[in-house]
């Protein structure tokens, strides 16, 4: 409407000028004034549109504009930390694969080097503790009290790159400035991206897990779900908790077998998925992945039963009764876990974490275990269960029972057997 009125004024001014033969200077001034007004209106509309877009983006909470000084600081800090570990990275065995995956020992050397700066630094190694965690613990406790502040956490990735995460709390909302440090072809450090994002929800658990959910694109902007869930362990595990986690529960998990996600004891073992459990026990014993190609016609009876009986107090006769057994060929069936026999769940990706160890009077121990899930539900204890174990003098052990506490069995998906009788 504004532009239409401007056009009418221009035409009117032109006609009056022609009729009275007035000086062209006055017409020129009128025309220039109107053109200037038109440009100002257009500029105002463009500015308004840009402001609206900026407001809309802030409401979305992701891809937020990064302050120039903040960006420079983040990049410089990230590269500085990578330069500190450049010698360790240069001497590390990177293998022949295009995707570098460093050994845990090398990652821990890098962590120790960065810890010398006094900065908090974590790794992606399972059950590893954050170095210099105290400042993060203090920051999060103060945030829960409504006190504004900021803290920087460094994270060492499997490829030797370093991430810098600056968490900023303004008293109401929390934001994160993330920077990713990478190694270039000539082993010189650089950065691949920097982002500024609002954290939609967050909590700091009594166990010491910092759980947060980032603002991410949502439907209809994207057609597939984007998971913004993240977990960072702040408070450290004890050495004994970590040792028991790695030795007794890490190799089992909650996917493909139900030893940790069902209720059973020595008197009630019929519901265990023996055909599913076998490959996990095999990997625990031999420290290598079970190769089904070596068993095209099934797993031989003695081989299957001996491994199961080593880890579970069950007889060969019971195994033949409970498991899927081919009487004619004297073999046990095994099929790979896949889309035809398993529906993926977020719970299935959880990591079992020992949080307490109790010695019993009968010589057994009971591990209290939490299922920590960092996908979607972002929970450091989806279920809590007690796993009873008996250790032998040589360090070997048997699982004797599992009990899911607090009706947690009702909060997880029903277990899906990959093979049925």
Query: Model's pTM, two decimal places?
Result: 0.85
Rounded mean pLDDT, 257-277: 97
Radius of gyration (C-alpha) of the chain in whole angstroms: 31
The lowest-confidence range among 3-12, 252-261, 327-336, 375-384 is 3-12
Angle at 254 between CA 250 and CA 258, to 5 degrees: 115
Residue 377 has pLDDT above 90, yes or no: no
Q: What is the mean pLDDT of the chain?
A: 89
Residue 52 has pLDDT above 50, yes or no: yes
Can the peptide bond before residue 220 be classed as cis, meaning omega within 30 degrees of 0? Answer: yes
CA dist list (Å): 294 to 72, 299, 364: 55, 9, 36
How much is the pLDDT for 39?
A: 52
Upper half-sphere CA count for residue 236 (Cβ side, 13 Å): 13
How much is the pLDDT for 382?
A: 96
Rounded mean pLDDT, 252-267: 97
Residue 176 has pLDDT above 50, yes or no: yes
Distance CA 408, CA 151 (A): 35
Residues 6 or more apart whose CB falls under 8 angstroms from that of 133 comprise 120, 234, 235, 236
Distance CA 115, CA 85 (A): 11
Of 399 and 97, the one with more pLDDT? 399
Of 89 and 39, the one with more pLDDT? 89
Rounded mean pLDDT, 260-269: 97
Domain ranges for the chain, please list them. 2-50, 68-236, 241-411
Rounded mean pLDDT, 378-407: 96
Residue 299 has pLDDT above 70, yes or no: yes
**Cβ atoms of residues 38 and 3 within 8 Å:** yes
Angle at 298 between CA 294 and CA 303, to 5 degrees: 80
CA dist list (Å): 314 to 22, 26, 50, 267: 112, 106, 70, 10
pLDDT-based confidence at 98, cuts 50/70/90? confident
- Tokens describing residue 173: 């909302």
The lowest-confidence range among 38-47, 201-210, 249-258, 271-280 is 38-47
Rounded mean pLDDT, 258-272: 97
pLDDT-based confidence at 9, cuts 50/70/90? very low
**What percent of the chain shows pLDDT beyond 90?**
78
Of 21 and 277, the one with more pLDDT? 277
Residue 46 has pLDDT above 80, yes or no: no
Residue 171 has pLDDT above 90, yes or no: yes
Phi/psi of residue 318, each to 5°? Answer: -65, -40
Return the closest-CA partner of residue 179 out of 194, 199, 158, 167: 194
Distance CA 107, CA 120 (A): 15
**What percent of the chain shows pLDDT beyond 70?**
89
Distance CA 67, CA 62 (A): 14
């Amino acid at each position: 409407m504004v532009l239409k009125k401007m056009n009418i004024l221009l035409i009117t001014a032109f006609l009056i000028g022609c009729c009275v033969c007035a000086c062209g200077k006055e017409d020129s001034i009128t025309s220039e004034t109107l053109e200037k007004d038109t440009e100002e209106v257009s500029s105002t509309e463009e500015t308004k549109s840009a402001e609206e877009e900026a407001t809309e983006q802030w409401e979305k909470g992701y891809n937020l504009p990064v302050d120039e000084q903040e960006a420079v600081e983040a990049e410089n800090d990230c590269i500085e930390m990578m330069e500190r570990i450049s010698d360790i990275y240069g001497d590390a065995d990177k293998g022949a694969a295009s995707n570098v995956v460093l050994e845990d020992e090398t990652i821990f050397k890098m962590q120790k080097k960065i810890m010398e700066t006094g900065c908090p630094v974590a790794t992606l190694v399972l059950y590893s503790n954050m170095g210099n965690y105290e400042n993060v613990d203090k920051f999060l406790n103060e945030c829960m009290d409504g006190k504004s502040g900021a803290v920087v956490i460094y994270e060492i990735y499997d490829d030797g790159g370093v991430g810098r995460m600056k968490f900023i709390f303004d008293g109401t909302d929390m934001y994160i400035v993330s920077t990713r440090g990478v190694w270039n072809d000539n082993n010189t450090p650089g950065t691949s991206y920097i982002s500024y994002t609002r954290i939609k929800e967050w909590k700091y658990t009594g166990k010491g897990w910092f759980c947060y959910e980032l603002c991410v694109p949502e439907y209809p902007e994207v057609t597939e779900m984007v998971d913004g869930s993240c977990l960072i362990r702040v408070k450290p595990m004890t050495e004994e908790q970590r040792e028991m986690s790695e030795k007794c529960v890490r190799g089992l998990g909650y996917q493909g077998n139900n030893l940790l996600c069902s209720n059973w004891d020595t008197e009630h073992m019929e519901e265990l998925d023996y055909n599913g459990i076998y490959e996990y026990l095999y990997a625990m014993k031999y420290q290598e992945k079970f190769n089904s190609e070596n068993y095209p016609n099934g797993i031989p009876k003695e081989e299957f039963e001996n491994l199961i009986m080593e880890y579970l107090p069950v007889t060969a006769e019971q195994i033949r009764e409970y498991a899927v057994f081919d009487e004619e060929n004297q073999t046990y069936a095994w099929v790979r876990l896949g889309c035809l026999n398993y529906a993926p769940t977020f719970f299935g990706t959880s990591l079992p974490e020992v949080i307490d160890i109790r010695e019993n009077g009968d010589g057994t121990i009971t591990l209290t275990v939490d299922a920590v899930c960092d996908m979607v539900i972002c929970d450091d204890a989806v279920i809590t269960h007690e796993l009873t174990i008996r250790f032998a003098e040589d360090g070997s052990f048997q699982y004797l029972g599992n009990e899911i506490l607090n009706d947690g069995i009702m909060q997880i998906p029903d277990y899906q057997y990959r093979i049925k009788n």
